[in-house]
Structure 1
């Protein structure tokens, strides 16, 4: 007898995805190269089905073929890389976030860019910052946050233009920058000074500062932020007192990721 739970599971089941993963998993250290027939035997799928899956994976860049043999491409590493990198970064950054929160007496946050949005992946709370919810997993539009601007500042011009075109620059408060020309100028300033400050653009009274985190290649892969309110601090005071601490924190996390940052002690 089929239960309601079983029926629901069946309705949510994507057979094509399951078969695609089965084909990918059929490659291993002992069988790095396989023919379509061998893959069909290994997965117990029909040869025409396996061929369609392989052609799809080839178009996406995950497999390649030569002389009738199929093989995985290095792109498959990206599937696990995002999970590994994100979780390793979160664990590595926790003591730095704690130290930043202690030094500033304000909450600290770690985030990455996913598509057109900022995704918070770690947070060290000190006190509630206005009504903004920033628990890990929270997603927000990138354009109106200091984190988003840091993460976008070192992106390609094409990526920035695509985000402006696809998502626009919607107004979240009366202070949100919505003009594309002004937004591009702000990103240029962020690149030049190495950090970002946003005041009342996501929520009135909220001030956030962010700095970039770089991997061992020097690529910006995440950003760290410190948040407060206009009732507790002024932009001028934050620029003088918090920005140096924030930038130093970002450099220390980057150093731990293998990025050589001049001026940061190794102890």
Structure 2
């Protein structure tokens, strides 16, 4: 389910070409870092170059610099992986974000009450970014944790967040979406997705019924800031064989909405 991202620093897709204030070397370094994922923890120079579109010579210089700064290493000199120091890049943001910092007790309480996994995510580009999570059990074949990313269009939290975007921004986002058929139940077109997003906005929640992975159902609601804007989304994920879609709406949704009201008080 790993989603390939458009790179920012090479070829015709570079939107910053000609901008004298844009630091291409810094952008390349960040793109090299983002090439590593839970599914691809170890990468060679060639693999990073192929994934990002950055020339191999530039990738090598980026890795050399990141290695000297303690962010990556390669035992054999060829296959690189991130070092724990990389966590410092995101720690400052998480520590300074009231929701990410304060939501964990509410998430744990909700998870224990429902005996299910609960998460909070924000919209970051075309993806959702997990900023808090309480897991009761592993219900997906991929690991999800704080910092994990998934395509927004294919997730319950993502659809909640997309449904509150201004129309022009939503159209731009959906125009970039790669509608991968993850399961036989995945929505197959942008037009279907737009109709789904209208319904999500009207009803105030999104229910994803095995569209991202067979056996996984999830339901999500928005988290509002003090100005009434949607800041993040909260969801509960369940085993499809244990919890029906009807039970999600009737039993889980009211408790999810109550938790969302409490969490929204933490958002300025």
Please indicate the TM-score interval, normalised by the length of the shorter structure: 0.5 to 0.7
Q: 1:253: how far off?
A: 0.7
Q: Secondary structure at the match of 2:265?
A: helix
1:137 counterpart = 2:147: yes
Q: Which residue of 1 aligns with 2:245?
A: 235
1:183 counterpart = 2:199: no
The runs of at least 4 aligned residues of structure 1 exceeding 4 Å deviation read 13-17
Q: Which residue of 1 aligns with 2:15?
A: none
Distance 1:16 1:224 in 2: 33
Q: 1:206 to 1:15 in 2, by over 3 A?
A: closer
Q: Which runs of 5+ in 1 are unaligned?
A: 1-12, 18-81, 259-267
Q: 1:216 to 1:234 in 2, by over 3 A?
A: same
Q: Is the 8 A contact 1:92 1:256 kept in 2?
A: yes
- 1:50-61 to structure 2, matched below 5 A, reads none
Q: Which residue of 2 aligns with 1:170?
A: 180
Q: Secondary structure at the match of 1:113?
A: strand
Q: 1:205 to 1:216 in 2, by over 3 A?
A: same
- TM-score, normalisation: structure 1: 0.64
Q: 1:168 to 1:159 in 2, by over 3 A?
A: farther
RMSD: 2.3
Distance 1:208 1:132 in 2: 15
Q: Is the 8 A contact 1:113 1:119 kept in 2?
A: yes
Q: Is the 8 A contact 1:195 1:247 kept in 2?
A: no
Q: Which residue of 2 aligns with 1:103?
A: 113
Q: Which residue of 1 aligns with 2:161?
A: 151
Q: 1:155: how far off?
A: 0.3
Q: Is the 8 A contact 1:118 1:141 kept in 2?
A: yes
Q: Deviations over 1:154-187 (max 9, x none)?
A: 0011111111111232221121112222111111
Distance 2:169 2:142 in 1: 27
Q: 1:213 to 1:85 in 2, by over 3 A?
A: farther
Q: Is the 8 A contact 2:153 2:177 kept in 1?
A: no
Q: 1:238: how far off?
A: 1.2
Q: Which residue of 1 aligns with 2:52?
A: none
Structure possessing the higher radius of gyration over alpha carbons: 1
Q: 1:229 to 1:14 in 2, by over 3 A?
A: same
Q: Which runs of 5+ in 2 are unaligned?
A: 1-22, 28-91
Q: Is the 8 A contact 2:98 2:267 kept in 1?
A: no
